[in-house]
Every structure is written in structure tokens, then in C-alpha cells.
Amino acid sequence: MHKRPVYLDLTKISLPASALSSITHRLSGMYIFFVTLPLMLFLIDGTTSTKAEFDALILKIETVSLFSMFVFFSLFIFWYHILTGLRHLIMDFLHIGETINGSRYSSLFVIFIWLVSLVISFWYLFL
């Protein structure tokens, strides 16, 4: 009889980049549903109520604060989810990148594109 491990140490498992991309795609989907969606509904409500609320909300977003960073962080997570979702759709429908190497390179490409767009956005918005 084989002795099964009592616990699984996830820090010792080396996952490939494609698995990390898939897992983070699912996690970002949960974040979007539970955090970004209510935040965006709040922002839409604030921008459509009165002109004074709209101006106050724009001022909150334009100034560098915890709230504006939270909004931009949520949008960047949403952007990551869109990019990884497109990657999955391309793999599912066009059958591009289904090999192990293709999957690894496409996930690294998506992460690279996301990081570059993140840096460009921060450069444009905050500098």
C-alpha cells in the first residue's frame, strides 16, 4: 500500500507558464465578477447621477490616490483577463498554440503584452 502525502506543498511544484496563465485567468475572472463589476457599476452610477457627482468622481480618479490606484488595478486585471481569454479562444477555435511549446510561448507572449501595456499606461497616466 502506497503512503499518500498528508499535505500538498504548492510552493514546491513547478508549474509551466501555460498552467500559471490558465490559473490566473480563472482568478482574474473571479476578481472581475466580485470586485471590478461592482466597482464599475458604482462608477457608472456616479457618472450618471448629477454633474456635481460626475465632477467629484473625475477628480477622485485623476488625482493619485488609493481609490484611483484601485480603479486602475481593477482595469488592468480586466485587461489581463481579456488577453488570456483571447489566447484561450485562439487555441480552442483556431487550434494555434496547442502544443506544449506553442502554449508556453503564447502564455509568455500574453504576459509580455500585458506588462508592456501596463508600463505604457503607468507612464502615460502617472508621469
Delimit the domains of the chain by residue range: 17-126
Task: Look up the pTM and report it.
Answer: 0.85
Among 9-13, 61-65, 97-101, the range scoring the smallest mean pLDDT is 9-13
Of 1-5, 83-87, 98-102, the poorest mean pLDDT is in 1-5
Given a cut of 80, whether residue 6 has pLDDT beyond it is: no
Contact 83/114 with Cβ under 8 angstroms?
A: yes
Average pLDDT over every residue of 46-65: 91
The confidence band for 98, taking pLDDT boundaries of 50, 70 and 90, is confident
What CATH class has 17-126? mainly alpha
Distance CA 26, CA 31 (A): 9
Ramachandran bin of 99, using left for φ above 0, alpha for ψ from -120 to 50, beta for the remaining angles: beta
Mean pLDDT estimate for the chain: 91
Q: Provide the pLDDT for residue 51.
A: 93
Instruction: Please report the pLDDT score of residue 5 as a whole number.
Output: 67
